[in-house]
Amino acid sequence: MKRILTLLYLLLFLPAHLGSHSRPPLLFSAETLDPKSFQGIGEADPKRKESFPTFWGANALTQEDREIQGLKVTIFSLEGGAWIQHKKVKLGANRIEVFGKEAYKAFLKNGVHIEDQENGTVMRAGVGEYDKYSEMVYIKERPRLSFRDKTGKTTVISAKQIDRELSTKITKLHGGVIVNHPEVTIFCAEAVFKESEHLITTDPNPILISKNRYLSGKKLSFYTNESRILLEENTVLFQSSEETKKDPEGNEKKQTVLTILKGDKIESRPNEENDRTVMISGNATVLRKDIKITSDNIESVGKDSRIIKARKNIKVHDRENNLLLSGNVFDYFRNENYLHLTDEGKMEFLDKNSDQVTSTITAQEFERFLDQKETVIRGNIWIKSKSTEAQGEYATYFENDESVILEGNPRINRSGKILRAGKIVFYPREGRSILTEGVHLGN
């Protein structure tokens, strides 16, 4: 009888919650997402207008209440294939701590994997932090970001820390940034990747390295979809190439040649033939062992600068042959050993010891055949030296003899007297000339 009374007492007077059963929060598979909201899982905060549902799950879950900065917060610990779905971005890790049932903050630990399913961008790291309402993800411990451009090439970016704005698709990279692209590797301290523009910009003084090339400048912009690189302010490009040259005996010999390109701005991009082209503008300069080219704008085609084009205010200093050429349109084809200069073209002969100008030739067109060591000159030719002026329509300069043969109604002015001949041989470094084939005096 006493046992029955005791049982009735417990049923009538003990608190109701001790006799009730509390169901744990539901979990659902990481492989399928049910858009419904469950109590305690993915439930939106109705007090926030910008709130949106966030789903999460794992193979195992534990729940506890903590006091953080004086506020009581419910924390869910997810383990084993833990994940969070933020709109079209999926965040995964071996272990995730979710703050609040609406998942307004989460800490990702051990093997972080983040995939932007809309853009195909993937991030990996050791640990990460997720903020729902600012729509930010911060990852550390060997973080890296990878994506594939429209050409199918994959770019991998690593840094000490990577911060990604999930709404704008803007990624900020901090400390020891390395951008690995199939065609170039970029090193810098800080960088920003704007995915909508396919653009990576860096802090001052980045370094770029590609096959046989080294580039630096103050400001860099890399358009990943176009493989286009833009360097601005104090830009310089070092380029090495293996070239075949003939020695004085005519024997071919391969040697490594260094070419330096610099200017206010350097732009590198593939052309229609998918060949790398470098455009230099503003104080553009090309330096090689035996030649210096300066111009307002210079274009270099090919990884070995096999074609060089220059426009406006061109000066070409051939140190090997002590020549200075100038004009406004210049084209150089290294494989063909051919150089073309026009538009106010001028050739100046320099003294071998002092670099002082000994003679000058102006004409409409200059063609240098480098392998033959000859220059063909055409159109309204004027030859000027200290004591002589000569005119003609056609001339050839022979480098070995250092002589110019002037033809096409050639004439020479000596002390006010006009001498004509069928041909005039002029030695520009000595200032002397020889008239042959029907010499006569008169206008």
Higher pLDDT: 190 or 72? It is 190
Please indicate, yes or no, whether residues 260 and 276 belong to a single structural domain of this protein. yes
Mark whether 418 and 364 lie in a shared domain: yes
Q: What is the 3-state secondary structure (H, E, C) of 171-217?
A: EEEEEEEEEEECCEEEEEEEEEEEHHHCEEEECCCCEEEECCEEEEC
Task: Determine which of 10-19, 44-53, 245-254 has the lowest per-residue pLDDT on average.
Answer: 10-19
Same domain, 381 and 419: yes
Residue 85 has pLDDT above 50, yes or no: yes
438 and 338, same domain (yes or no)? yes
Whether residues 298 and 354 share a domain: the answer is: no
- Predicted confidence at residue 247, as pLDDT, reads 66
Q: What value does the mean pLDDT take over residues 71-78?
A: 86
**Residues 396 and 408 grouped into a single domain:** yes
Same domain, 339 and 432: yes
Range(s) of the domain holding residue 342: 321-442
The CATH number of the domain where 337 resides is what? Answer: 2.60.450.10
Across residues 162-166, what is the average pLDDT?
95
Highest mean pLDDT among 1-15, 26-40, 136-150, 424-438: 136-150
Of residues 48 and 191, more confidently modeled: 191
Q: What is the pTM of this model?
A: 0.75
The predicted structure's pLDDT at residue 420:
87
Q: How far apart are CA 33 and CA 43, in angstroms?
A: 14
Question: Rounded distance, CA 79 to CA 403, Å?
Answer: 87
Q: Is 158 a member of any domain? A: no
If you average pLDDT over every residue of the chain, what do you get? 84
At residue 296, the pLDDT reads: 94
Do 338 and 425 reside in the same domain of the chain?
yes
Residue 204 lies in a domain: no
Domain boundary pick from 301, 320, 339? 320
Q: Hey, which bits of 271-352 come out as E strands?
A: 276-287, 291-301, 307-318, 323-333, 338-350
In a domain, 94, yes or no: no
Whether residues 416 and 384 fall in one domain: yes
Tell me if 127 is assigned to some domain.
no
Mean pLDDT in residue range 363-375: 94
Same domain, 326 and 281: no
Residue 213 lies in a domain: no
Same domain, 422 and 392: yes
Report in angstroms the alpha-carbon separations of 295 from 261, 283, 286: 12, 6, 9
Backbone phi, psi, residue 72, to 5°: -85, 125
Q: Please check whether residue 180 lies inside any domain of the structure.
A: no
| Confidence label for 53 from pLDDT (cuts 50, 70 and 90) | low
Measured distance CA(425)–CA(428) in Å, rounded: 10
For residue 36, the 8-state DSSP code is S
Q: Are residues 306 and 337 in the same domain?
A: no
Task: Give every CB contact of residue 312 below 8 A, 6+ residues apart in sequence.
Answer: 295, 296, 297, 328
**What share of the chain in percent tops pLDDT 90?**
51
The whole-number pLDDT of residue 34 equals 37
In the prediction, which pLDDT does 314 show? 96
255 vs 294, residue with greater confidence: 294
Q: Which of 320, 342, 360 is the last residue of a domain?
A: 320
Q: Which of 259, 293, 320 is the last residue of a domain?
A: 320
Give the pLDDT mean for 235-252.
77
Decide if 215 contacts 235 (C-beta within 8 A).
yes
Distance between alpha carbon 22 and the CA centroid of its chain, in Å?
A: 60
Cα 10 from chain centroid (whole Å): 79
**Given this model, what pLDDT does residue 162 score?**
97
The domain tally of the chain equals: 2
Local confidence band at 95 (pLDDT 50, 70, 90 cut-offs): very high
420 within domain boundaries: yes
